[in-house]
Amino acid sequence: MKKIIIYFFIFIFIIFLLPALLTKKNAEASSVNTAEAENKEQNNEEQAKNQNENANYTYNKYGTIKLLHKKTDEVEEVNIDDYLCNVVSAEMPADYEEEALKAQAVVARTYTIYKIENKKHDNADICDDSSCCQAWISKEDGFARWEESKRESNWNKIQNAVNSTKGEIITYDNKPINAFFHSNSGGTTEIPVNVWGGTGYPYLQVVETAGEEGYAQYASEVELTNDEVLNKLKEKYPDIQIDFSNQEDIKILEYTDSNRVKTVKFGNHEISGVEARTIFGLKSTNFEIIKEDGKIKFSVKGYGHGVGMSQTGANTLAKEGKNYKDIINHFYANVEIKDVNSI
């Protein structure tokens, strides 16, 4: 009798309750999918609206720039936003968040106009050498770096970042700022005085950038033998003498406020962290020195000079829901984002 009752309840569950539960679950899933589709459609509509509004935008002064191609020494006249698409393509991974790409577009536009206003090249406004100005890559070479299936979508994403922010630049005291940027800050950005000297800029301060440790650019190591360390230093300091058995002969003497190496001692010379980075090919000045078994290991955090916007930091903020204006205001203090035609 008990078995009959159990079978009866199982039968009732299968016939009546199970379909109801499955229907509810499918309805919930459908509701989530519908909400996601609506959000995606809304975002697409906003992008289309921005593109339409900016389609007729005209630069009063900076619509065309003279770009120096360093390798060929040729100067090319290009539309500024076409140029910026090539810059964003070269400077930031296309798979970064859209708001991070927009921030990069505004930063790159600002940097370009700052360079135009503070002319460095006799026959050009800006060059394509990242060690001098900012990186640039042709559309064809950019496509070659991407998987074939992603080329058009990546390019469209970059174009949207540039076109949806058309004409926007970052200003301080109604002037375009020197919008420095770098790959990964290692957790904290740096002030320019500690990198290039001079008096610095009030809008470039030390800023914490959480969440960067998840990127490949965050950590690196350079390991050299004692002889390699000595030989590299001798290229700059022929009279260098180091007692590698003496712990005091190689040591960090001073740090900056962002925890980067300001001064480091190598034997009978004290050099800056910036100089040590150059001599030993380190990715940043945020490093520790580890001595072991006839070798010197530099344990490095971050990638780049550390000044201004961190690109991985920008992407992290975008993933947290920040928009490009939030990102820019995080890295540059007391600035305004303005239409370049208004200044």
Pairing of strands 295-301, 175-176: unpaired
Phi and psi, residue 262, nearest 5°: -95, -45
> In this structure, are residues 248 and 259 in contact, taking their beta carbons and an 8 Å threshold?
no
Round to whole Å and give the CA distance between 144 and 192: 35
Q: Where are the alpha helices (DSSP H) in the chain?
A: 2-12, 18-55, 80-91, 98-117, 139-145, 151-163, 193-196, 226-236, 273-280, 311-319, 324-331
Round to whole Å and give the CA distance between 148 and 343: 41
Identify any residues that bridge with 176 across adjacent strands, giving them in sequence order.
171
Give the position of tokens 């040729």. Answer: 74
> In this structure, are residues 197 and 124 in contact, taking their beta carbons and an 8 Å threshold?
no
pLDDT per position in the chain (343 positions), as tens? Answer: 555 555 555 545 455 554 554 454 454 544 445 544 454 455 455 555 555 567 789 999 999 999 999 999 999 999 999 999 999 999 999 999 999 999 999 999 999 999 999 988 999 999 999 999 999 999 999 999 999 999 999 999 999 999 999 999 999 999 999 999 999 999 999 999 999 999 889 999 999 988 999 999 999 999 999 999 999 999 999 999 999 999 999 999 999 999 999 999 999 999 999 999 999 999 999 999 999 989 999 999 999 999 999 999 999 999 999 999 999 999 999 999 999 999 9
Task: Supply the pLDDT for residue 124.
Answer: 96
Identify any residues that bridge with 287 across adjacent strands, giving them in sequence order.
300
Round to whole Å and give the CA distance between 181 and 109: 12
> In this structure, are residues 191 and 257 in contact, taking their beta carbons and an 8 Å threshold?
yes
Task: Supply the pLDDT for residue 283.
Answer: 98
Task: Supply the pLDDT for residue 199.
Answer: 87
Task: Supply the pLDDT for residue 54.
Answer: 73
> In this structure, are residues 312 and 184 in contact, taking their beta carbons and an 8 Å threshold?
yes
Give the position of tokens 């380190």. Answer: 282
The string of DSSP codes covering 58-113 is --SS-SEEEEEETTTTEEEEEEHHHHHHHHHHHHS-TTS-HHHHHHHHHHHHHHHH
Query: Taken in order 100, 55, 172, 304, is the CA torsion positive or negative?
Result: positive
Identify any residues that bridge with 222 across adjacent strands, giving them in sequence order.
298
Question: Which residue type, as a one-letter code, is found at position 16?
Answer: F
Round to whole Å and give the CA distance between 108 and 135: 10
